[in-house]
Amino acid sequence: MNKYPEPTVGAVIFNPEGKILLCKSNKWNDQYVIPGGHIELGEKMEDALKREILEETGLHIYDIKLISLKESVYSDTFHEKKHFIFIDYQCKTDSINVQLNDEADAYEWVDLEEIENYDLGGFVKELLLKLKNKKQAINNVDIFYNY
């Protein structure tokens, strides 16, 4: 077990049709989550986001905006006992062609109006519902607790 919290980045990625990318992962009880991953030592957060999204999905992202900070301390929604700090962004991509690596088992492009039809992992549902209800970019940063 790590001695320190693990900072991670995640992305709500909008494609040209305005749909968002959800990935199904066995790390998250086979539920759908947004793609992302760990920040490496010496790596800036947005650089980590671009790298992780490219590695996990093959997508190039831009127009990156910080939308959420979350903390997860030993949550049972993750397959290991870990303390995460989740730094989430919304961004855009010009492609719909996703090439998954071994981090995820499946993906779907989903309209925000349809998200409640999906089994969403962790705090993703609350984050996406907030986005859906605002109908546009979140300008202030939302901080979620107790996940």
Tens digit of each residue's pLDDT (9 = 90 or more) over 3-29: 889 999 999 999 999 999 999 988 778
Q: Give residue 49's domain range.
A: 6-144
Calpha distance 87→94 (Å, rounded): 23
Give domain status of residue 24, yes or no: yes
> Is residue 144 scored above 70 in pLDDT?
no
Model confidence pLDDT, tens digit, residues 45-84: 999 999 999 999 999 999 999 999 988 888 776 667 888 8
56 in a structural domain:
yes
Establish if 1 belongs to a structural domain.
Answer: no
Burial of residue 18 (number of CB atoms within 10 Å: 0-12, 13-18, 19+) = exposed
Average the pLDDT over each of 23-37, 88-102, 106-120 and give the range with the smallest value.
23-37
Amino acid in the structure at residue 46: E
Number of structural domains in the chain: 1
Q: If you average pLDDT over residues 109-115, what whole number do you get? A: 95
Amino acid type, 28: W
For residue 139, the model assigns a pLDDT of: 58
CATH number at residue 92: 3.90.79.10
Is 135 domain-assigned?
yes
Dihedral through CA 14, CA 141, CA 80, CA 83, nearest 10? 160
Instruction: Give CA–CA dist 68/91, Å, rounded.
Output: 13
Residue 69 tokens read as: 């900070």
Residue 20 belongs to some domain of the structure? yes
- The residues near 146 (Cβ < 8 Å, ≥ 6 apart) are none
